[in-house]
Chain A
Amino acid sequence: MKPFNPFSLTVSVPPHRHCGVTVRSRMLIILLAMVPAAAMAVTQYGIAGFRVMALSMATAVLTEIVCDKFMGRESQISDLHAMFVGLAFAFLLPASAPWWLVTIGSASSIILGKMMFGGLGGSPFCAPLIGWALCRISWPAFMDIDATMLTMDLVYPLAQLKNFGLQAVTATDAQALFLGKQLGGLGVVQIAGVLMGGLVLVMRKHISSIIPVGVIAGVIITAGLFNMIDPEVYAPPVFHLLTGSTIFGAFFLATDGPSSPNRQIPMLLFGMLVGIMIIIIRVYGIYPDGVPFAILLANLFTPVFERIRPRSFGKR
């Protein structure tokens, strides 16, 4: 008989089983899912687009290292979240963004959107949107996609809709819009690439399908209602889905873990709120693309949505 090994009864701290998913592997998958859109952006804008993305990612990572140093924390850049924040922020910018705008925006995404709340998992907001909002408020002229990209022969359909009404929109071909033949944020308008990456994430269960479905449903319902009221003035739902950052927001930004609810009904309500706010801002607001502000607003509602929870067992 084998001698009894006393250590065989030693129990380590839970969890005892896990599926092997780490923050790093999740972020790696998300980054890989953004690659198709990034590749399409580079083919469309050339080195200018690549410059913005690379600068933004590098700044985000460097900023996080410096913040960790000052805050006396162990550096966690190897979990790749900073790279995701940098790339997502770059996706929202016009390809013509000057270097200082990219640097300040990306750094403030990390500082104000992530590290200030205590690192990954603590932030009540989706980090890249904080940097975007800061840049949009501070430098409207440089964030104005239409005015800074006059050399391109593409058009920015949302600005046309906002400034000149539905009749003036020239880019109405759904297929061309789907393939990214429009102006807008650098990566976000590469709808085909973004959608491919998003579907991969959903199918591999890295994000729940409920929030994207909620966002898209919210957009379709609200835009459909407006379109039913007056098809001459309000754009059809397909136009709203295929322009601006609706799809990118639905799959990549609204599903940001810490800032979105984590149960099914709250997730659906959260997604619907984002979708409804997108259309309301696009119709009544002063910003052509309402997605970032819609998501920031919905992030603020997350604690409220999370109050919807099952009654605890045995409690009346």
Chain B
Amino acid sequence: MNFVASSSGPLEWNYIAANFGYLASVVMFMLAIMRMGRVKTARSGNFLAAAAMLLAVVSSFVEMGKINPAFIVAGLIIGGAVGAIMAKKVQMTQMPEMVALLNGFGGLASTLVGLATFYALSGGGNLAMMMGRDGGWFGAINLVLTLIVGSVTFTGSIIAFLKLSEKMSGRPILLPMRHVLNVLLLLIPLAMGVAAVWYVNNPILVGLILIGIVLITFVLGVTIVIPIGGGDMPVVISLLNSYSGIAAALAGFTIGEAVLVVSGSLVGASGMILTQIMCKAMNRSLANVMFGGFGAEPAAGGGGGGEYVGVKSADAETAAMIMQDAQNIVIVPGYGMAVAQAQHAVREMAKILEEKGANIRYAVHPVAGRMPGHMNVLLAEANVPYEQLFEMDQINDDFRNVDVVLVIGANDTVNPSAKTDKSSPLYGMPVMNVEEAKTVFTMKRSLGGGFAQVKNTLFECPNNYMVYGDARKTLEEIIKALKEG
């Protein structure tokens, strides 16, 4: 419902019709999100959400009535075409950076809506009236918040995109005095927001102040995300996703439109839940992820010294030989599988082993990869049925009954020292008990540290064998050996 329009002038039929449209689309969004929470109904839920969006857009046209829509239509066509091309072209392994990028666009759109609303009001000379009116203070605060949240979402997402696509190093970049800097970068725009209300009768000055707020918070988005390392990206992406929803809800307050408030807060809540789940899976607080600079340097002393002792290795043929006699095999994928684009090779190998009578399961750690559910998407792309995918909690007690565990590019999530070594930065993080299996093969390019830069004591376990090399190449060698054997 548009509360700005409702407070001025008589009710027109198109206003009423449009609001029934908005109401229907809000209900559809709720039902859609409900359906998106179950595998069987997920796809139809997404379709319903898209239909709800279309209905909301059509309703908006109905509400605006007789206008010149040239600029709207141009924007819709250009944006729609770019979005469609991006969605068609993106590879599944690039999904984290795609989500980050789209999220950034949403944030910037909300910022621009805030600025545009200001210029629309000041152009008509209504600004002083709006801010001076009953409740005007709220409009002003809200406008400033929209700009801040939208801008942080934008540049934060762009940095996440650059890190995820490896156009920028995934290592944390720690600026000196970064906490003080971040606080200042937040307080200054807020103070400027107060100034904007103060100088309300000078629209040009207020406009400059608002643009200043946007520019400063652009910097804030950068300084918030650069100290966060690649492995913590699942948390950052969920959080930025939440922010983009909040920005949309705030934009809804700014223009007085309830459908934005509802949809935006639904997204804000969902992002918050995912953020919580991700933090819990790492046994770290949100504050620690955001401000900890985790993984910036090798942990001193963690895991009992840096040098590895007694690490055994095996070649692909040996791994193939042992696996083809195994009954019970669990595959543990990690970010390395995504980097090597090895998901199809994994599936091919699993198929051959299944034909030989093995029971194959996949064990997925909640924060494996670079976004929530990253591994699940990649394995689904390779046609792995989702019944074979197990959450850590479902499978963790069963590793002792497993013949062979194949770790593909996972590291911190299978590090046993997280359970035992109190000096380890990973201590307390729930990890998979892969070392309890009879035999473990760990595919890795080298013994280098994982994201947390902590020594992995799994590699020293007597039942673990390292299989060095690119995961996909190694898997192809295993497949070849299995076919010959």
A and B from one complex: no
Q: Which residues of A contact B (CB under 8 A)?
A: none
Q: Which residues of B contact A (CB under 8 A)?
A: none
